[in-house]
Structure 1
Amino acid sequence: MVSFDHRQPGTDPAAWSAFLASVPAGPVNVAAYASVVVVAPHPDDETLGAGGLIATAADAGVPVHVVLVSLGEGSHPDSPTTTAAELADTRASEFRAALGTLHPSVTSEFLGVPDVGLREQPDTLRDALVARLDAAPARTLLVAPWRGDGHRDHRVAGEVAEAVVHERDDVDLLSYPIWAWHWDDPTASAAPWGDARALALSAAVLDRKRRALAAYRSQVEPLSPAPGDEAIVDERHAEHHLTPTEWSFGMARSRSRESFDAHYERKPEGWDFDGSWYERRKRAVTLAALPRERYRSALEIGCATGVLTAALTDRADDVLGTDIAAAPLERARARAPRARFLQAALPDEWPAGTWDLVVMSEVGYYLSPADLDRTIDLVLDSLADDGVLVACHWRHPDDEAVSSGDVVDERLRARWPRPALVRHVEDDFVLTVMPGADVRSVARDEGLVR
């Protein structure tokens, strides 16, 4: 989680303006949707991040519904003049006034989650979104905070929205930043600008967004001159959001089964696993990184034509190889007759079992951020305490990839509860071995050190 202090000046809005001028962004066509649903973890998030979109969609006759998660009663925890309960009442009134300013047709609901409490009850938001989307006309645009925004409620809201959209073909997702404008650095941004979307706001819409934000007096003005009552969204913060363009990020989806089927139709062997010295050397490095000589049960995620799978059968009593495409599995079964194989789109079709070795080679960057996180969580849930995950990924650009080897490696290490046992980085690939709770070094296992 990003650490930042909203009381600090933060990134200069002018620095973002210069950066954004160079960002190629896709358009946002709200008229293409039958309805819009906006998730606001706190009152004012919907206006700051998507006020222009809300107004533009409502002007076009598209029904807009805002799901308000909490009342943001914790915005001034050190206030000497205003209690949390008073803030909740105030911010609820401000929320209604702001939505009415954006457009009188906008509807809303309040979920009653405590401020900074969404992590403890994500299903409250998930259930509300599923119910709303089930009742919505076909083709809905779901708008939610960017999961990397740096605030815990924003992260959880973004993750829940991504998970819900992943299960539906009739819903698209846009993610809006709020605090990233404050803490992020445009010269080395952490945001997914390759998926940027830009909505141009008319002068009238921008004026309504400005007036809607002004309705949040408890946030844009000090509650009093006393310390602890400072404005949360001061003029410098607001400047990030009151521009003629509203920025968001589209949702990256995992590479499809159809694209892999097409790849194997063109190249039945997939990649040159046998002939390429790069592939043979990388395979040798991967096998050498395994901390144990022998394993009970191994799972290979994305086994392709089974070249690495065959090598794993020499190191494990039972090996299961999975792949999203059917064609390579025919070759894999012939190449590795001692292994079992399963066609499965992971993480949705996760195989049952407990593994003391999981191998994820050259597949993580084909997964969306949400699917990668779910895959890591499923590995953790099914890995024996004495087991390891071995992840190896190409570090150069791949036009078919959703992310990159470095992104996968960073996310894996950030999400794993223990430090890496092995981490090998070179220009072409990064290989990481992540241990279970009871894994020790090879020397300690052999009694060479105590």
Structure 2
Amino acid sequence: MVTFDHRDPGTPEQEWADSKALRVVPELDLEGVDRAVVFAAHPDDETLGAGGTVHRLIQNGAAVRVIVATLGEKSHPDSPTHTQESLSRVRHQEMAEAVGAITAGCVTPEYLALPDGGLTAEALAGPINDAVAWAAHGNQPLAVVTWVKDGHPDHEVLAEQVRQTAGAAAVRCVQYPIWWWHWGTPNKLPRGLVHVTLSDEDRDAKQQALEHHASQVRPLSDQPGDEVLLGPHILEHFERDREYFILAAPHQTPVFNRVHTESEDPWNVDSSRYEHRKRDVLTASLPRELYPRALDIGCSTGALTAQLAARVDVMTAVDASDVALDKARARLAERGLKNVQLRNAVLPEQWDPEWTGLDLIVVSEVGYFCSPEQWKELLTLCTKALSPDGHLVLCHWRHPIKDWPLDGDDVHREARRRRTLTRLVEHREADFEIDIYTRTRRGRA
């Protein structure tokens, strides 16, 4: 848990402004977004973190809902002039005026009136489910929420519930940091950071909205206990011509069921020269001719699975999509391959503890469909599941992966950091890279 001293200047804005890494963060694609639901834990979160973006969405013709979970009534526990009840009434009105400013009067905020500092998944589940279901009826729906690692418990509980719900509904989810600008550092940016460039009109609307949050940006009075919450050293982080968001990893099952339903061959595995070459290079790079037991993670329609099956006695192939697995099953049957068991599972959450002592584990074109935390966990599970002489194969596309927090270079970089893994094979070219590892033996660096 992070706590904040209002007198602590935190990381100076100039240090962020000088960050080269921050300047090359990719742009969030808002093209075609026709429904967006914006969640705030407290009044002012929506304006600080996403006010300019909300204004942009409204100007683009999107339908937008803004939902605030609490009224931030515990912000001044020692106030001599305001009770929690009176401050709730003030914040209610300020929120309405601020949202009106960033939406040109088109949107009235929705108030859940949950306890400040006491948000729970149980209390949030119903309203979030309803709002995300509304957004899901759009063509390019978007859910916007506080960041799950922002350092405030309400921000984190709200973010995690929205992430899970949006992911299950195949609604793209982005999270905006608030307090991270205060305690974070420019030399360690979150994976999946993207930005929205704000026009002068977007920034003006955001500034007007902030002025309406008067009980946050100005002292309640000149008496002790009524000090300003958001002083200039905090507000300066939100005066940029950009707003920043962290991509949340969608739930793989609904996303890939839809992808495989809309197209018979969504990745062009049967027609693309890239796909054929990648599979040929991968199988040619395997250090052994035959592997007794293998695991293929993210098998999709089974093109690589079928090619690997000729080098394996018994193999399990896993995918999050039932639709993809049906196509893989048909491919394997057509080729008469009976040494492959197909399993539906979302990894790492549904990792089977019986997957141990494996001679070969292949993770091809799937690592970047995890969140950074999920990928770290999956990599650990794979390492532990290898036999002493087993091989872990990583193969990934090297270009940007739209709407997912990782790319291929991120995936392989994390593996290279592991002291528990020793790299045996390295192949890198413009479009893809392949690394093959074995478990590090004791005494090896």
TM-score strictly above 0.5: yes
User: Aligned residue for 1:101?
Assistant: 101
2: CA distance between counterparts of 1:40 and 1:214? Answer: 17
Alignment-mate amino acid for residue 280 of structure 1 = P
* Alignment partner, residue 143 of structure 1: 144
1:66-105 CA distances to partner (integer Å, 9 max, x unpaired)? 1111222333456576544443333222212222333322
Residue among 119, 123, 126 paired with 1:124: 126
| Other-structure match for 1:275 | 284
Q: Which residue of 2 aligns with 1:161?
A: 162
1:215 alignment counterpart: 212
Instruction: Give 2:284's aligned amino acid.
Output: G
- Quick check: 1:333–1:339 contact (8 Å CA) kept in 2? no
- How far apart, CA to CA, are the structure 1 residues paired with 2:412 and 2:156? 20
Match of 1:383 in 2: none
TM-score, structure 2 as length reference = 0.67
C-alpha root-mean-square deviation of aligned residues, in Å? Answer: 4.9
Deviation for aligned residue 1:179 = 2.0
**Displacement of 1:167 after TM fit?**
4.4
Cα offset, 1:110, TM superposition = 1.5
**Residue 144 of structure 2 contacts residue 176 of structure 2 at CA under 8 Å; is this kept in 1?**
yes
Alignment gaps of 5+ in structure 2: 427-434, 440-445
Counterparts of residues 179-328 of structure 1 (less than 5 Å): 179-193=179-193, 195-202=194-201, 205-223=202-220, 229-249=226-246, 261-266=267-272, 267=275, 270-276=279-285, 279-280=286-287, 301-302=297-298, 304-305=304-305, 320-323=316-319, 324=324, 326=327
Partner in structure 1 of residue 355 of structure 2:
357
Give the drift of 1:44.
0.4
* Preserved contact between residue 197 and residue 241 of structure 2 (Cα < 8 Å): no
Q: Distance in 1 between matches of 2:192 and 2:334?
A: 39
Please, what TM-score do these two structures have when normalized by structure 1? Answer: 0.66
Q: Retained in 2: the 8 A contact 1:201–1:245? A: no
Summarize the Cα distance change of 1:367–1:228 in structure 2 as closer, same or farther, 3 Å threshold: farther
Q: How many Å apart are 1:46 and its aligned residue?
A: 0.9
Partner amino acid, structure 1, of 2:197: A
Q: Deviations over 1:42-72 (max 9, x none)?
A: 1101111122233344455544321111222
**Structure 1 regions of 5+ residues with no counterpart?**
288-294, 381-387, 413-419, 434-450
Aligned residue for 1:39, secondary structure, equals strand
Give 1:262's aligned amino acid. Answer: N
Shift of the 312–263 alpha-carbon distance from structure 1 to 2, 3 Å rule, reads closer
Report the secondary structure of 1:89's partner residue: helix
User: Distance between the aligned counterparts of 2:334 and 2:5, measured in 1?
Assistant: 57
Give the length in aligned residue pairs.
391
| Residues 314-372 of structure 1: per-residue CA shift (max 9 Å, x gap) | 7xxxx642245645985699798454224x5x529x98x964227874255231429x7
In structure 2, what is the Cα distance between the partners aligned to 1:87 and 1:374?
A: 43
Letter in 1 for 2:4: D
Q: Give the CA deviation at 1:16.
A: 2.3
| Cα 1:333/1:140, change in 2 over 3 Å | closer
Equivalent residues of 2:150, 2:179 under 8 A apart: yes
Structure 1 residues 283-321: Cα deviation after superposition (integer angstroms, max 9, x where no partner): 99xx9xxxxxxx9xx97533542788899867xxxx642
Alignment check: 8 A CA contact 1:150 1:180 kept:
yes
Distance in structure 2 (CA, Å) of the matches to 1:328 and 1:280: 27
Task: Give 1:270's aligned amino acid.
Answer: R
Residues 389 and 234 from structure 1, CA distance in 2 versus in 1: closer, same or farther, beyond 3 angstroms? farther
Residues in 2 aligned to 1:252 and 1:230: alpha-carbon distance in whole angstroms: 38
Kept in 2: contact 1:36–1:65 (CA 8 A): yes
Give the deviation of 1:389 after TM superposition. 5.6
2:4 aligned with 1:5, yes or no? yes
Return closer, same or farther for 1:361/1:200 CA change in 2, 3 Å cut-off: farther
C-alpha change, 1:365 and 1:153, in structure 2 (3 Å) is farther
Shift of 1:188: 2.7
Contact 1:261–1:327 (Cα < 8 Å) also in 2:
no
Matching residue's letter, 1:124:
G
Give, in whole Å, the separation in 2 of the partners of 1:245 and 1:197: 6
Where does 1:392-431 land on structure 2 (aligned, <5 Å)? Answer: 394=394, 398-399=398-399, 402=404, 403=406, 423-424=420-421
Matched residue, 2:443? none
Q: Do 1:366 and 1:400's aligned partners in 2 also have CA atoms closer than 8 Å?
A: no
* 1:40 alignment partner AA: A
Q: CA shift at 1:235, angstroms?
A: 0.8
Q: Which residue of 2 aligns with 1:445?
A: none
| Aligned equivalents of 1:85, 1:426: Cα separation in 2 | 61
Question: Where does residue 431 of structure 2 map in the other structure?
Answer: none
Percent identity over paired residues: 27
